[in-house]
Amino acid sequence: MVIGPRQDRRPTMNDVAARAQVGLRTVSRYVNGMTNINPEMAERIRSAIEELGYRRNLAAASIRPGQTSGVIGLVIGDLANPYWAALARSVESVAAETGLLLTIASSEEDGARHDWVVERLLQQQVDMIIDVAPRTVGRSWSHWSPPLPPVVFVDRPGDLAGADTVLADNRGGTRDAVAALLAGGARRIAFVGDDRALHTMDERYEGYLLAHAQHGVVVDPTLVFETSHSSGQAVDLVARLLREGRADALFAANNRAAVGALLAFRTVGTRLPIIGFDDFEAAPLFDPPLSVVAQDVEAMGRAAVRAGLDRLQGDDGPARVQVLPTTLQLRGSERP
């Protein structure tokens, strides 16, 4: 009977050390890419690894305090929304550049689910958490018992002191968009958006007010709608607006609202000048092409990972809030 590893047991570092006739320590140094290893030993280790089909167990390597898991956790609303998908893509891409893996979890905008996911991510020992605070907020971040990995909030501010934040210039972007509509002659611009309890919505609403103020135009409060959670709700709302003829332009405060407005245009058979917030792939394909305030999602993802990485490397300066500029993409739909 042969003495050796069981059939289905994967080879360990010990097996490699034994086979290569070197100490465990040396194998560890080898797989960790350390220099200063006797070339001859290195070669023995290399071939032992190959022959054995050895694969490092990163879970075991990371149980020691102070060790990193090499995994970033990202909590977003929902991968179905192209905006979150784009953010996730950006984060994944930057993470991969650094050799990190990305675990993505959806909060479905629900506080309880968000908290479960965060807890799970923490248990999994992720190196950092990039968090989009959900619409209905759960327990406060500050209630999580330390030590916590670096936390970075994206898109919306969170409630953890010391956490960095990456936001888009919702206010300025909206102001520019609404200003463009006003410059086109519109005077009764409807704001079709979601609940202003959402930080982004509130900021966009402020931008909407600001543009009006700067142009000396008075806002009609009955043209402000905060109930477009989904495109379906926006459809009904915009259809009604079109029939009533009360508005002469539309600002769609997120991509759901924009899609709903376009559907309503089609249903009712008439349209209004419109600008949306958040770009999406199909926006240029409509007739006329949809103008939007585009966020630099790529840059936001990159900035978030960067911030977390800096913290990981010991940066313990005060929390930073980065507000990234938006771009007004005028494609035609802003005209009557």
28 lies in the site for DNA, by CB under 7 A: yes
Closest to 123 in 3D by CA, of 51, 69, 197: 69
183 lies in the site for a second copy, by CB under 8 A: no
Closest to 250 in 3D by CA, of 295, 206, 188: 188
Chosen residue from 4, 8, 48, 56 binding DNA by CB under 7 A: 56
67 lies in the site for DNA, by CB under 7 A: yes
| Binding string, residues 60-99; x marks residues near a second copy by CB under 8 A | x-xx-x---xxx------xxx-x--xx-xx--xx--x--x
Tell me if the bond preceding 5 is cis, omega within 30° of 0.
no
Strands (E), the chain: 71-76, 101-106, 128-131, 151-154, 164-168, 189-192, 224-225, 249-252, 274-277, 291-295, 321-324, 326-329
Q: Where does this chain touch DNA (CB under 7 A) — which range of 22-30, 143-151, 177-185, 286-294?
A: 22-30
98 lies in the site for DNA, by CB under 7 A: no
| Binding string, residues 136-175; x marks residues near a second copy by CB under 8 A | ---------xxx----------------------------
281 lies in the site for a second copy, by CB under 8 A: yes
246 lies in the site for a second copy, by CB under 8 A: no
Tell me the number of residues near DNA by CB under 7 A. 28
- Closer by beta carbon to DNA, 53 or else 65: 65
Q: Which residues contact 122 (CB under 8 A, 6 or more apart)?
A: 129, 144, 148, 149
What is d(CA 16, CA 2) in angstroms, rounded to the nearest whole number?
A: 18
Chosen residue from 1, 3, 24, 136 binding DNA by CB under 7 A: 24
What is d(CA 72, CA 107) in angstroms, rounded to the nearest whole number?
A: 16
What is d(CA 332, CA 336) in angstroms, rounded to the nearest whole number?
A: 9
- Closer by beta carbon to DNA, 64 or else 285: 64
CB of 307 to a second copy, least distance (A): 21
CB of 211 to a second copy, least distance (A): 27
What is d(CA 124, CA 71) in angstroms, rounded to the nearest whole number?
A: 9
Chosen residue from 3, 8, 53, 66 binding DNA by CB under 7 A: 66
Strand partners, 251: 191, 275
Chosen residue from 24, 58, 197, 312 binding a second copy by CB under 8 A: 58
Chosen residue from 57, 142, 214, 222 binding DNA by CB under 7 A: 57
In the chain, the N- to C-terminal Cα span, in Å, equals: 87
Radius of gyration for the chain, computed over Cα atoms and rounded to the nearest angstrom? 26
Residue 269 interacts, among DNA, a second copy, none and using kind-specific CB cut-offs from 5 to 8 Å, with none
25 lies in the site for DNA, by CB under 7 A: yes
What is d(CA 254, CA 113) in angstroms, rounded to the nearest whole number?
A: 23
Q: Helix or strand or coil: residue 148?
A: coil
What is d(CA 7, CA 317) in angstroms, rounded to the nearest whole number?
A: 52
Residue with structure tokens 């070339």? 39
Check: CB of residue 328 under 8 Å from CB of residue 168: no
115 lies in the site for a second copy, by CB under 8 A: no
CB of 305 to a second copy, least distance (A): 15
24 lies in the site for a second copy, by CB under 8 A: no
Question: What is the binding site for a second copy (CB under 8 A)?
Answer: 8-10, 52-60, 62-63, 65, 69-71, 78-80, 82, 85-86, 88-89, 92-93, 96, 99, 101-106, 117, 119-125, 145-147, 259, 262-263, 266, 280-282, 284-287
Question: What is the binding site for DNA (CB under 7 A)?
Answer: 9-10, 12-14, 21-26, 28-29, 31-32, 36-38, 41, 56-57, 60-61, 63-67
